[in-house]
Amino acid sequence: MTSVASGIARKKKVPLSAILLRLSSFLIMGVAVYWLGINFAHSPQEFAQVTINGLNNGLLYALIALGYTLVYGIIELINFAHGDLFMLTSVFSFAVLTELLGAQSPSGKNYALLLVVLLFTMAFGATLNVTIERLAYRRLRDAPKLAPLITAVGMSFVLQWIGLKWIGSVPVNVNTVLPSGKYHIGGVEIAYKTFAVFLITVPVLIILAFVVDKTRRGRAMRATAQDKDASRLMGIDVNKTISFTFAIAGAAAGAAGIMWAQTIGTVAYNLGFQLGLIAFTSAVLGGVGNLYGAVMGGLIIGLIQAYNDGLSIGPGQRWSQSMVFTILILLMVYRPGGLLGETAQEKV
Amino acid sequence: MARLNTPVMLKISDLTVGYGAITAVKGLSLEVREGEIVSVIGSNGAGKSTTLRTVSGLMKPKSGSIEFLGEKIDGIPGHEIVAKGICQSPEGRRIFPKMTVDENLDLGAYLRKDGAAVKEARERVLELFPRLRERINQKAGTMSGGEQQMLAVGRALMGNPKLLVLDEPSMGLAPVLVDLIFETIETIRKSGVTILLVEQNALAALRIADYAYVLESGNLKLEGDGSKLADDPAIAQAYLGG
Ligand SMILES: Nc1ncnc2c1ncn2[C@@H]1O[C@H](COP(=O)(O)OP(=O)(O)O)[C@@H](O)[C@H]1O
Ligand SMILES: [Mg+2]
């Protein structure tokens, strides 16, 4: 009622607060564009370089963010354990590729092994995520929202504990199979590693988006997300569809996990907390529940961090998290539903 | 109209269903024969929707049984019941609002693998509801109530049901549309689909029914041929606003 009333009021007379809000948003945008502009003018090469670094991390964030957004979309659960699932996939890839198979330096054979272990890591992430849903979340599906939420927090600790037992409390260095050289394109250096991240994450993202958007299973996912009983009346196996969603989320985390281990070069049992937070923020930024929003959010946060940390005229690395969350908060003020999310009014 | 002399398609025996401590349906027995339109009427909260939800496997009965074509189907999960040939257009339409009309219809045929037959079914549905053809690429949530109702019925038909279950298809519609919906129900029956219809619009539901049941507070109050109940003064008093 109130929203309708204020909607009518706004048409008649624009309140001062709305004008201020609009003005301040232009002001903030202006400052951001100006800041990026002077940096670009200062050194276009540096700017391009930093952009590429940002996209590199952003793609990894996007893959993890996908898991938050898909799961939230289908059962409205903020899966706090997802960051830790990502951590376990990175540990798994280290255990299999680096230790078991001994692939610790660049070679043709090791590139092939990387691709094979990528698939295994994705399968590992998928299986683990499906198992978690089956064991911990499914029986709480009709319980009050707080119950599965707390369970997810508990599951996060369980996964961290597994990671701790697996590799210990000290971060472990990973000898990467990716070559350490760089391409030089017009004064911009692009590490081979960065190419590898693009080469692997972009197709994975495209395939996952295709599955959700275009396949019969994907349509069942979207239907289940909208109305579970109506989906059952269509003949959709809702439990199976939710499992499938967790599988996709886990596979995406797995792809991010192995690429993280190979490009950043360390794995640690507490990696999930920070990465999970960033990825969750990406999902919220893009509009939680929206697949493309999550990818966009991940890329934006990757870029914000990179610009903040890497541009020579700027606040510097110490301000990295503050910048990300300042921008998140500002965005939430102007677009509460996230970039691609629905606004609250539309939902009602 | 009177009960047909055809084999029994759906047989509900002594069905009791509830929500936690609430018992919504108490010992209901009901039969639908092949080719019939069977109506279930009763005031708000009588247990009509609960009965239909149980038939479609969205709820499990506390006791009693449901047989479809001689096979026990109570306790089977909802998505498997669709495969057996029971499709429902639920109360409140429950179309997928963020999807287009087209996608909604496709979902109605989710379990069907026979592409050519699905195309035919689609064509029949769009002939039945030309309005849907005009709106084929529109987001279902942005359509009017009447159009959404057509979509809900059309979507259920896409599953090629033997038994079509309709829960209050005329709810909230303008009188012209109500007439259209009831006419369409008769057309659908003529095409060979058996229909179990729940309605608050009791008179119209009794008129088109071969046989009808009256529920009150979860109990079966009365049953009989549709036309007979429609003329029954006691029914008129209680349900037809007479
Ligand atoms: N989800 C629910 N939880 C608890 N009680 C319910 C629920 N749905 C319906 N009921 C109760 O069950 C009874 C029958 O409801 P319903 O089958 O929807 O009646 P009808 O369709 O005839 O109007 C009512 O008393 C109603 O309050
Ligand atoms: Mg009802």
User: Taking Cα atoms as reference points, which of A95, A92, A131, A132 lies closest to residue A256?
Assistant: A92
Q: Does residue B114 surpass a pLDDT of 80?
A: yes
Residue A8 lies in a domain: no
Residue A4 has a pLDDT of 46
* Distance from residue B239's CA to the centre of ligand 2 (Å): 15
Residue B121 has a pLDDT of 95
Mean pLDDT across the stretch B66-88?
A: 96
Q: Does residue B233 surpass a pLDDT of 60?
A: yes
Q: How many CB pairs lie under 8 A apart between chains A and B? A: 65
The tally of domains found in chain A comes to 1
Could you give the CA distance from residue A84 to residue A333 in angstroms, rounded to a whole number?
29
Q: Does residue B32 surpass a pLDDT of 90?
A: yes
Mean pLDDT across the stretch B107-134?
A: 95
- Could you report the per-residue pLDDT of B181-222, keeping only the tens digit for each? 999 999 999 999 999 999 988 999 999 999 999 999 999 999
Could you give the CA distance from residue A250 to residue A260 in angstroms, rounded to a whole number?
15
* Distance from residue B83's CA to the centre of ligand 1 (Å): 26
Q: Which domain holds residue A95?
A: 60-271
Query: Which atom of ligand 1 lies closest to the CA of B48?
Result: 22
Q: Is the CB of B46 under 6 A from ligand 1?
A: yes
Residue A161 lies in a domain: yes
Residue A110 lies in a domain: yes
Answer whether A232 sits within 8 Å of B58, measured CB to CB.
yes
Query: Which atom of ligand 1 lies closest to the CA of B44?
Result: 23
Q: Does residue A306 surpass a pLDDT of 50?
A: yes
* Nearest by CB: B88 against A233, A237, A238: A233
Model confidence band, residue B241 (pLDDT cutoffs 50, 70, 90):
low
User: The tokens 């849903």 sit on which residue?
Assistant: A133
Residue B2 has a pLDDT of 80
Model confidence band, residue B237 (pLDDT cutoffs 50, 70, 90):
confident
Across B162-166, B177-181, B237-241, the highest mean pLDDT is recorded for: B162-166
- Distance between first and last Cα of chain B: 21
Mean pLDDT across the stretch A252-258?
A: 97
Mean pLDDT across the stretch A54-72?
A: 95
- The overall average pLDDT reported for chain B is 94
ipTM: 0.95
Residue A295 lies in a domain: no
Q: Does residue A7 surpass a pLDDT of 50?
A: no
Q: Does residue B238 surpass a pLDDT of 60?
A: yes
Residue A1 has a pLDDT of 40
Query: What percent of chain A is predicted at pLDDT more than 70?
Result: 95
Q: Is the CB of B42 under 6 A from ligand 1?
A: yes
Q: Does residue A315 surpass a pLDDT of 50?
A: yes
Mean pLDDT across the stretch A95-106?
A: 95
pTM for this prediction: 0.90
Could you give the CA distance from residue A170 to residue A76 in angstroms, rounded to a whole number?
35
Q: How far is CA A158 from CA A23, A61, A152, A164, A260, in A?
A: 47, 22, 10, 10, 22
Enter the tokens of residue A63. 């893959």
Contact residues, chain B to chain A, C-beta under 8 Å: 53, 56-58, 77-79, 82-83, 87-88, 90, 94-99, 103, 106-108, 110-111, 155-156, 159
Residue A288 has a pLDDT of 87
Answer whether B82 sits within 8 Å of A237, measured CB to CB.
no
Residue A302 lies in a domain: no
3-state secondary structure of A5: helix
Residue A219 lies in a domain: yes
Q: Which of residues 198-237 of A touch B (CB under 8 A)?
A: 216, 219-220, 222-223, 226-227, 229-237
Residue A296 lies in a domain: no
Mean pLDDT across the stretch A255-280?
A: 95
Greater model confidence, A240 or A29: A240
3-state secondary structure of A186: coil
Answer whether B96 sits within 8 Å of A233, measured CB to CB.
no
- The overall average pLDDT reported for chain A is 90
Model confidence band, residue A342 (pLDDT cutoffs 50, 70, 90):
low
Residue B163 Cα to chain centre, angstroms = 8
Mean pLDDT across the stretch B4-8?
A: 94
Q: How far is CA B191 from CA A292, B19, B128, B187, in A?
A: 44, 37, 11, 7
Could you give the CA distance from residue A64 to residue A297 in angstroms, rounded to a whole number?
11
Residue A246 lies in a domain: yes
Model confidence band, residue A344 (pLDDT cutoffs 50, 70, 90):
very low
